[in-house]
Amino acid sequence: MKQFLLSFLEILEVVIVAVVSIYLVYTFVAQPFKVDGKSMEPNFSTGDYLVVDEVTYYFREPVRGEVVVLHNPTNESEFFIKRVIGLPEEQILVSDNKVFVNGERIDEAYLPTGISMADTPPFQLGEEEFFVMGDNREVSFDSRSWGPLGLHQIVGVVRIRFWPLGDMETYKPAENV
């Protein structure tokens, strides 16, 4: 009986350590995220499962071109996936289906050709403010609608698409565009 009890306690200890470890990783390091909606098509589609890195932005700010998960500024309980376009203290303008940062057009090689988007007035970003847009510009509800996004609203950066298996991909930090 004593041997059984020792074995049981050892198994219980392993299970508790595993559960606590999974909880800590899920809460503070990375978590899965399921894409729902068309705002990032064709690069991300409904049903894609992603791993979101929640630690990186404690050490550095987002970089232009990175794909991030964020709290919906109009409903904090919802999450969106968008691409970082504008960085703190930059001026963003959408004109003639092109995006301009501080008066210079940015290259968005990740977008399909023929993107159509409405012109916007210039957005002047403050400290720790970012401008995010969906890749499917015609249907995306993004900073063009709600304005700049605070750093505190960004949950993390997308690191891995792990489902569907045929589209599995890792994402490295973007180069400044």
**Number of residues written out for the chain:** 177
Annotated catalytic residue within 21, 39, 77, 145 = 39
- The sign of the torsion formed by the CA atoms of 57, 60, 64, 66 equals negative
- In whole angstroms, give the CA distance from residue 132 to residue 95: 16
Closest CA to 81 of 156, 29, 151, 177: 156
Annotated catalytic residue within 21, 38, 82, 145 = 82
Annotated catalytic, 77?
no
Annotated catalytic, 39?
yes
Phi-psi region of 85 (alpha: psi -120 to 50; beta: other; left: phi over 0): alpha
Q: Which residues are catalytic?
A: 39, 82
